[in-house]
């Protein structure tokens, strides 16, 4: 068996994890991590480490609950609490609002970057409205004719492209490793905006939407409790890759822009700042990586509203059904949002990431109760280690929600 075939089989075995990497590491992550690195160096690495550890814990917890019960997250929340319907509807509405905000920011940033890419290649930028229109038609066509397995393969391609480009750019700009290492001591910077960025790190990594979607993609994979170890391995791969990619993006910002005393205000400016550091090739690679990161998040976001409705109602998840196609069309039209807004796309992204941090407690607390309910889980309730981990996540979610409130208001 060839090495490439072995790699392909290995990647297919961790499909849900790759799906969530593609969903989670998007332009929001890139913008947030690069801004953190540029403004604070590596001093907020501790927040990223905690976020990824807690991401793993909740992914395992939500995945295990789905494996045992055969039902997805919102369905379990709705049917196992006294006010479960109210809580499930709140989670569903909050997630959809947050993701639509993110979608506007994502497509705005991707269109700006592609326009900048054309400028690098030809000397002339392309109208961003035209770019957005072409991408929307292309992506909705894929959505119309696609299946979950097709999306998984497309996302796998985007994730690999994103990972390779960021790793290449990391070595091309040659960040000072001694300055990176010296900045690993955990601190909270005493400057305006620091709390919002900590909340954004949590919101873009330990995202409430990821855990609700986790149960759905595990169900789509058709796994049962027999695949529990596979589910844990898949979660570990996903959380580890999220950490590595996010750390590389932060380190690129810390080892270059932070050392030079520069700040990052928007993503296109980042390309302009990196061009003299790593040359046009590095700038173009960065555009490919960020665009790949952005496009990898669009399919899951388009799917979130119909998937959540199917999750809540217990209906079959049929991507080609009228409900999915209609809601998918409504969702993808939000891609045009920043074309008609005065607010820059990166600001919209930061708002959406901080908003995600506010939803996390409503997702972390219910899973602690569900996974310890004997009548629901039988002999597969959480052990002491898992319970300690989920309690730590709950405390973390309350703290980052507080940071989000301070940072936003």
Per-residue model confidence (pLDDT) at position 21: 55
CA distances from 359 to 120, 312, 353 (A): 40, 17, 10
Cα-based torsion angle of the residue sequence 277, 283, 289, 293 in order, rounded to the nearest 10 degrees: 90
For residues 103-119, give the mean pLDDT: 87
Per-residue model confidence (pLDDT) at position 373: 93
Per-residue model confidence (pLDDT) at position 4: 46
Residue showing tokens 């109760």: 369
pLDDT digits (tens, 9 = 90+) for 5-49: 544 444 444 445 455 555 555 566 777 788 888 888 888 888 888
For 240, phi then psi, to 5°, come to: -65, -45
Per-residue model confidence (pLDDT) at position 150: 67
For residues 117-135, give the mean pLDDT: 89
For residues 274-299, give the mean pLDDT: 73
pLDDT digits (tens, 9 = 90+) for 337-354: 888 887 777 677 767 777
Per-residue model confidence (pLDDT) at position 385: 92
Per-residue model confidence (pLDDT) at position 300: 75
Of the candidates 12, 20, 14, 64, the one whose C-alpha atom is nearest the C-alpha of residue 213 is: 20
pLDDT of residue 146 exceeding 70: no
The pLDDT mean for the chain works out to: 80
pLDDT of residue 166 exceeding 50: yes
For residues 209-213, give the mean pLDDT: 80
Residue 183's SS3 state is coil
CA distances from 146 to 103, 139, 323, 329 (A): 20, 10, 15, 14
Residue with the larger pLDDT of the pair 287 and 267: 287
CA distances from 79 to 124, 152, 219, 304, 376 (A): 56, 30, 18, 20, 11
Percentage of the chain lying above the pLDDT 90 cut: 19
Q: How far apart are alpha carbons 361 and 329 in whole angstroms?
A: 30
pLDDT digits (tens, 9 = 90+) for 307-329: 888 888 888 878 888 998 999 99
pLDDT digits (tens, 9 = 90+) for 231-273: 888 888 888 888 888 888 888 777 766 766 666 666 676 676 6
For residues 94-112, give the mean pLDDT: 86
Per-residue model confidence (pLDDT) at position 391: 95
Q: How far apart are alpha carbons 335 and 356 in whole angstroms?
A: 19
CA distances from 372 to 122, 222, 375 (A): 60, 23, 9
Percentage of the chain lying above the pLDDT 70 cut: 80
């Amino acid at each position: 068996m060839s090495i490439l075939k072995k790699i392909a089989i290995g990647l297919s075995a961790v499909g849900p994890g790759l799906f969530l990497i593609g969903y989670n590491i998007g332009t929001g992550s890139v913008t947030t991590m690069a801004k953190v690195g540029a403004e604070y160096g590596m001093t907020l690495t501790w927040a990223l480490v905690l976020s990824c550890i807690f991401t793993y814990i909740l992914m395992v917890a939500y995945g295990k609950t789905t494996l045992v019960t055969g039902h997805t997250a919102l369905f379990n929340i709705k049917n196992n609490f006294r006010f479960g319907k109210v809580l499930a509807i709140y989670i569903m509405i909050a997630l959809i609002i947050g993701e639509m905000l993110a979608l506007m920011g994502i497509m705005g940033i991707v269109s700006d970057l592609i326009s900048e890419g054309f400028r690098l290649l030809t000397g002339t930028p392309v109208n961003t409205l035209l770019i957005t229109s072409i991408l929307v038609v292309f992506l909705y066509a894929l959505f119309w004719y696609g299946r979950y397995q097709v999306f998984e393969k497309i996302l796998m391609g985007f994730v690999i492209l994103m990972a390779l480009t960021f790793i290449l750019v990391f070595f091309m700009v040659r960040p000072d490793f001694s300055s990176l290492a010296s900045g690993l001591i955990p601190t909270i910077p005493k400057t305006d905006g620091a709390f919002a960025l900590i909340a954004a790190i949590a919101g873009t990594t330990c995202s409430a939407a990821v855990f609700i979607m986790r149960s759905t993609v595990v169900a789509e994979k058709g796994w049962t409790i027999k695949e529990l170890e596979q589910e844990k391995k898949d979660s570990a791969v996903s959380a580890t890759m999220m950490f590595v990619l996010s750390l590389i993006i932060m380190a690129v910002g810390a080892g270059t822009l932070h050392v030079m005393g520069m700040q990052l205000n928007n993503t296109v400016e980042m390309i302009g700042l990196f061009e003299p550091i790593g040359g046009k090739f590095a700038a173009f690679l960065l555009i490919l990586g960020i665009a790949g990161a952005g496009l990898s998040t669009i399919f899951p976001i388009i799917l979130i509203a119909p998937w959540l409705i199917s999750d809540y109602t217990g209906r079959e998840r049929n991507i080609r059904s009228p409900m999915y196609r209609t809601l998918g069309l409504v969702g993808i039209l939000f891609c045009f949002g920043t074309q008609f807004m005065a607010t820059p796309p990166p600001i919209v992204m930061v708002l959406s990431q901080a908003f995600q941090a506010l939803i996390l407690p409503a997702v972390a607390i219910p899973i602690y109760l569900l996974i310890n309910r004997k009548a629901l889980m039988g002999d597969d309730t959480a052990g002491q280690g898992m319970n300690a981990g989920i309690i730590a996540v709950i405390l973390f979610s309350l703290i980052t929600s507080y940071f989000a409130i301070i940072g936003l208001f």
